[in-house]
Amino acid sequence: MTFKKLAKLYSRIKIYSYYFQGNKMAILQMATYGNPILRAKAPEVTELTDEILKVIVDLEDTLSRQRGIGLAAPQVGISKRIFVVDLSPSKQDIKVALINPEIIYRSAEMSENEEGCLSVPEVWGNVLRPDEIKIKGMLPNGRTVTIRAEGIYARALQHEFDHIEGILFIDYFSPGEIEQNREHLDTILDHNRKKLGRILI
Ligand code: NI
């Protein structure tokens, strides 16, 4: 991709950001636990189109409104390999959007920490994950990058990567943690059974 084309893409992103600020900001509806889209392996993005850039802006807007630190496209009903991570709520100046990400390294050292998910509201539990990862993916400007991450950043990237694979953080729960959260999980499932007619747990 030429530099000029990159600049054009950047300005497009800025226009979208500007357009969706204020009352034009697109806040997308969240797909919650039981919605079959959360269990699908999302297909790759084949071309960086305006539509894809808009999905990214909408994900960023929705994430900031929901005050989460990560959001993947399937969570807003779009089955594509795209996610955004924004660590500003945890006081870190890290914000990234990745297209077609791939985890290319996982450390042998692992640690456990509490996680939650915008698609599984009010449910919390400990998840064991590698401490450090390297992830390769495309940025919204079309550039391919490899990111080395540790701590909360590595955790957020892995949680979001799982979403595009159809994996949820509750899949790592112990039977005890499932039991502790049983009431909230059943409430979400009941809601989706009525709303969607069909659920996939
Ligand atoms: Ni999540």
Q: Which residue among the candidates 109, 160, 165, 179 is catalytic per the annotation?
A: 160
Q: Tell me how far apart the alpha carbons of residues 162 and 177 are, in angstroms, rounded to a whole number.
A: 19
109 assigned to active site: no
pLDDT at 5: 42
Q: Which amino acid is at 146?
A: T
Residue 122 CA to ligand 1 centre (angstroms): 12
Could you read off the pLDDT of 15-39 as tens digits, one per residue? 444 454 555 678 999 999 999 999 9
Residue 63 has pLDDT above 50, yes or no: yes
Ligand 1 centroid from CA 94, angstroms: 18
Average pLDDT over residues 29-52: 97
Range 74-97 average pLDDT: 96
Q: How far is the CA of 68 from the centre of ligand 1 (A)?
A: 9
Examine the pLDDT at 8 and tell me if it is beyond 50. Answer: no
Q: What is the pLDDT of residue 43?
A: 98
> What class does CATH assign to 3-196?
alpha beta
C-alpha of residue 143 to centroid of ligand 1, in Å: 25
Q: What is the pTM of this model?
A: 0.88
In this structure, the number of other CB atoms found within 10 A of the CB of residue 5 comes to 12
How far, in Å, is the centroid of ligand 1 from the Cα of 149? 18
Exposure pattern of 144-176 as b/e (b: 16+ CB <10 Å)?
Answer: eeebebeeebbbbbbbbbbbbebbbbbebbeee
Residue 67 confidence (pLDDT): 86
> pLDDT tens across 94-123, in order?
999 999 999 999 999 999 999 999 999 999
Identify which of 74, 56, 61 has the alpha carbon closest to the alpha carbon of residue 24. Answer: 61
Residues 126-179 pLDDT 10s = 999 999 999 999 999 999 999 999 999 999 999 999 999 999 999 999 999 999
* CB-count burial class (<10 Å; 0-12, 13-18, 19+) for 47: exposed
Distance 168 CA to ligand 1 centre (A): 7
CA of 3 to the centre of ligand 1 (A): 35
Q: Which pLDDT belongs to residue 25? A: 78
The pLDDT confidence band at residue 6, using thresholds 50, 70 and 90, is very low
- Report pLDDT for 24: 65
Show Cβ contacts of residue 62 under 8 Å, excluding neighbours closer than 6 positions: 26, 27, 28, 30, 71, 76
